[in-house]
């Protein structure tokens, strides 16, 4: 115990690399990936890619992916054709078609 304390006393505290992020998520007992997700969601970004989130902490691309993946995972037969992600998808398709023409 004494040896450890003398070693730390001798060495000057030189901090290397990126400085530690100190915020409301830094003390949580979760992985660094989860902390990144929580920081993105608090910032209003997608929890996967970090772009601007539309709903549920996802961007449009990952909202669509999550919808399809969860429907397959839980064996859903019916589809809500007027859900937010589908409407946004249609809107983006019409916008891109307008730009191409
Ligand atoms: Zn995303």
pLDDT in tens, the chain (101 residues): 454 555 556 677 888 898 988 999 999 999 999 999 999 999 999 999 999 999 889 999 999 999 999 999 999 999 999 999 999 999 988 887 776 65
Q: Is residue 2 part of a domain?
A: no
How many angstroms does the Cα of residue 52 sit away from the middle of ligand 1? 8
Q: Contact, 57 vs 47, CB < 8 A?
A: yes
CA distance 58 to 56: 6
In a domain, 82, yes or no: yes
Note whether residue 9 is domain-resident. Answer: no
Domain range spanning residue 38?
24-100
Please tell me the total count of domains within the chain.
Answer: 1
Dihedral sign for Cα atoms in the order 25, 26, 27, 33:
positive
The answer as to whether 15 is a domain residue is: no
Find the 32 Cα to ligand 1 centroid distance in Å.
18
Asked if residue 19 belongs to a domain, the reply is no
> From the CA of 55, how far away is ligand 1's center (Å)?
11
Q: Is residue 11 part of a domain?
A: no
7 found inside a domain: no
Model-level pTM?
Answer: 0.70
Q: Residue 41: inside a domain, yes or no? A: yes
């Amino acid at each position: 115990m004494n040896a450890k304390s003398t070693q730390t006393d001798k060495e000057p505290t030189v901090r290397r690399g990126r400085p530690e992020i100190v915020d409301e998520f830094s003390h949580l007992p979760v992985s660094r990936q989860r902390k990144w997700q929580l920081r993105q969601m608090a910032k209003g970004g997608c929890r996967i890619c970090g772009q601007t989130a539309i709903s549920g902490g996802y961007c449009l691309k990952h909202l669509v992916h999550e919808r399809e993946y969860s429907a397959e995972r839980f064996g859903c037969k019916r589809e809500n054709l007027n859900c937010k992600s589908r409407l946004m998808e249609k809107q983006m398709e019409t916008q891109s078609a307008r730009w191409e023409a």
